[in-house]
Amino acid sequence: MMNAVAGPIPPFETFYELHAPEVLRFLRGKVGRDRADDAFQETFLRALKAYGRLRHGEHLRAWVLTIATRVAVDTHRRTRETPGELPETEHVDATPAYADLGELTDGLPAKERAAVVLRYGYDLDYRQIAAALGSSPDAARQAASSGVRRLRAERRRQP
């Protein structure tokens, strides 16, 4: 099996069973117990949707925590918006809220993206990020900074 080295993709059931408890714990921390159940559902449905496009089974933990992070961001955004408020486009010029980091980092490799979102979106320190990504603090720092470098390069390429 050639792709055994690259880390084959496990059946979704295996992936879900392995990461569900941690994702739920993570979401409870981010959005609170009351809203964590819905966020949990949303996270794994998004993961399910994207799962068929995965090319290898590496960093799945970081990958799903990144999705969970984005769902938490969306949950916060929804709660802040109440009917009658100005539409969101009104504050496009404001400093990107961590909500926007999700989209900005779409093109990054999973690990870098997770590191960037967790560092600059959630202000986690590198020790916490390392724990979330299953790597060392140094590796987390490296992933975040290479993610940022990549984003800058990306921005320069855009007209």
Partner 1 sequence: MTVPTDLDRRFRESAARSGLLDAGFDVVETPLGELLVAATERGLLRISFDPEPEAELEHLMRIAGPRVLRAPGAVDAVRRELDEYFDHRRQRFDLTLDLRGTTAFTQAVLDELARVPYGQTATYAELAARSGRPKAARAVGMVMNRNPVPIVLPCHRIVGSSGDLVGYGGGLERKEALLRLEGVTF
Distances from the Cα of 120 to the Cα of 7, 28, 32, 49, 144, angstroms: 29, 20, 20, 26, 9
Closest CB 102 distance from partner 1, rounded Å: 21
Is residue 20 near partner 1 by the rule CB under 8 A? yes
Segment contacting partner 1 by CB under 8 A, of 9-17, 65-73, 98-106, 114-122: 9-17
Asked if 159 is part of the footprint of partner 1 (rule: CB under 8 A), the reply reads: no
Residue type at 53? R
> What minimum distance in Å lies between the beta carbon of 53 and partner 1?
10
5, 69, 93, 126 from 118: Cα distances, Å: 28, 8, 22, 9
* Helices vs strands, H then E, count in the chain: 7, 0
Piece of the chain touching partner 1 by CB under 8 A; list 6-14, 88-96, 99-107, 129-137: 6-14
- Does residue 65 contact residue 133 with C-beta atoms inside 8 Å? yes
Selected binder of partner 1 within 3, 6, 7, 10 (CB under 8 A): 10
37 binds partner 1 (CB under 8 A): yes
Of the residues 52, 83, 84, 159, which one makes contact with partner 1 according to CB under 8 A: 52
Give the H/E segment covering residue 115: helix 110-116
Token duo for residue 30: 């981010």
Tell whether residue 3 is a contact of partner 1 (CB under 8 A). Answer: no
Binding site for partner 1 (CB under 8 A): 9-14, 16, 20-21, 24-25, 37, 40-41, 44-45, 48-49, 51-52, 54
